[in-house]
A and B are shown apart, each in its own frame.
Chain A
Amino acid sequence: MKIIVCVKQIPDPEQFVAKINPETKTLIRAGFPGVINSFDGYALEMAVRLKESVEGSTVSVLAMSTPDAKSMLQICLSVGADKAFLVTGPSGSDTMGTSLILARAIRKIEEEDGPFDAIFCGRQTTDGYTGFVGPALAERLALPQVTFVTDISAQEQLLQAKRENNNGFEIIEVAAPALFTVTKTDYEPRFPTVRSRLASLKAPVHNLDLAGLGVDADTVGLKGAKVEVVSVSEPEQKRAGVIITVEDPGEAAAQLGKLLNEKNLV
């Protein structure tokens, strides 16, 4: 099974302070350490587990980002990915533009590496938070999709995915090639070993040139965004914050209950 996982580098949510570039009306991501989007980490782990269950499988990773995403891709190589690709995209691409670039990049990689059987994405990023890139990418590649996947298994070219839906699950069967978006799994992504991490620091990351992908520059980036951000603002924080510090739990509960009752919240 030949697998490729689309991963995104996002500003570390532990440290990120959201600020807007007033001219482009896009997020300023620079200046914060980059980490892998958490759902992409689950997607990579699922892909690597699938690889381990089917002999002769490979996992590639692909990111569209700024050049500094190289180190995130090397970390992917230290936890089970075999090959990494980086396409330096134009900034300001919306989900439609991003999916177009990723689709062209995957086709380009397939020219040399052969066709992929499974494409994995995280269900959404935790900075953009739309979840639109996966399904849009599947459409551009004309592939079937299964979203919100928590588990997957393969028998020959037939893939069976467990999909989260309506607080329950569905088992969905699809023949490869297909695209899957991955939500939180029951397991956590593995950590690199010292040896795998050291090896990954020397591992190559293949750069893909946007021009070489045959993407019309007008259809991507800020210029090609189909949904245009017309205004951004930082709304006032409304919390007044009454803090009850009396020591007696009964008294504290009574005070809180009174406040909630006054606001008709009980």
Chain B
Amino acid sequence: MEEYKNFWAVVELADGKPKGVGFELLNPGKQLATQKGEKVVAVIIGKNAGAVAAQAISYGAGEVIVVEQENLSEYSTDGYTYALEKLVQKYKPAALLVGATNNGLDLAPRLAARLNTGVAADCTGLSLDEGGNVVWTRLSFNGKIKAEAVCRNFRPQIGTVRPGVFKRTEPDTALKGNVIKENIDLPANLIRTRLVEKIAPETSETVDLETAEIIVTGGRGLGKAENFSIIRELAGALGATVGASRSAVDSGWISHDHQVGQTGKTVQPQLYIACGVSGAIQHLAGMSGSHNVVAINTDAEAAIFKITDYGVVGDLTKVVPELTKVVKEIKEKNQ
């Protein structure tokens, strides 16, 4: 067990560009590593990995392991699991932090099963216990239950972290770190899936709810698709991302990539404004990590008001446009 050292942050690439969560992981990774007198290491696999190494160092990586080769240029479960298995066997890290993106959630449990170790989900806090094990903190059931878990008897420890939970540090180009280039010898026919085609998101607007700082969500109370324009205007004034409840999506008013909740996205913005959202438990499950919640609803008894910091009982089609005006005024004054 003692031979397992250093904290790895897996930095995922999408079309050669790093996903932000990878750099976010370097922050808590570095804190844990410093406590133990060890290193935080960024592991970057894929097209353009070498070029991203310097960026990882500026966000705090003391070392970067880079794998850049043709048969691992795009993510595949088989290829990346194999590559990480070999890297873990060679370098024996104490822990791996993996961003809870779709690819991260594809990889982490598969790798844990392969390495016969444990994997913790959705960590919102990381610390070390007396034995030097990582204590993975997780909030579940609308934040009602906080659980702490450790993986005592198996290495490496693996945990997934949602985008936006940790903040990346300010990049510092004066930071130094060494870059190790690795080549993984993949057995023939190892990769059993074939990426036929990538389909870009249908809408031109980017729906990055998971990392959004402000979200304005429309629910059933909107009444019709056209009323989403009211939501979009407020979102525009705030620089916010547009979210939707399941019933708004199911009514065909907006596409599913906007959906917040149990069968949609899980979000943790600084400010969440729920307009005409009743607050079904499935919706709360997706947004209870929000730091500040505002609700606008005609029904004073709506469940959403139980978890709001600020609520307005009123007709959203009247209140929201007024709020958009107020926000614009405040923004002008604050400038």
Contact = CB atoms under 8 A, between A and B. Distances in A.
Interface of A: 13-14, 16, 18, 20, 25, 38-39, 94-96, 99, 126, 129-136, 138-140, 144-148, 160, 162-175, 178, 183-184, 186, 225-235, 237, 239-245, 247, 249-250, 252-254, 256-257, 259-261, 263, 265-266
A266 B213 CA distance: 11
A136 B119 CA distance: 10
Given A96-B119, A145-B110, A259-B310, A232 B192 contact: no
B144 A234 contact: yes
B201 interface: yes
A157 to B, nearest CB: 13
Contacts of B199: 162, 168-171
A191 B178 CA distance: 59
A240 B307 CA distance: 8
Nearest to A136: B113
Nearest to A12: B281
Given A94-B118, A228-B151, A253-B319, A132 B106 contact: no
Contact of B194 (A173, A237, A239, A265): A173
Given A132-B108, A144-B78, A172-B194, A240 B309 contact: yes
B106 A147 contact: yes
Contact of B139 (A132, A134, A235, A249): A235
18 contacts: A14-B281, A38-B263, A96-B119, A130-B122, A133-B109, A135-B107, A138-B110, A144-B77, A147-B105, A170-B198, A186-B256, A231-B148, A237-B143, A237-B144, A252-B322, A253-B325, A260-B310, A266-B331
Interface string B247-287: 00000000011010011100000110000000001100100
B51 interface: no
B195 to A, nearest CB: 6
Contact of A170 (B81, B197, B315): B197
B128 interface: no
B271 A260 contact: yes
A135 B257 contact: no
B145 A260 contact: no
Contacts of A99: 113
B270 A245 contact: no
B292 A167 contact: no
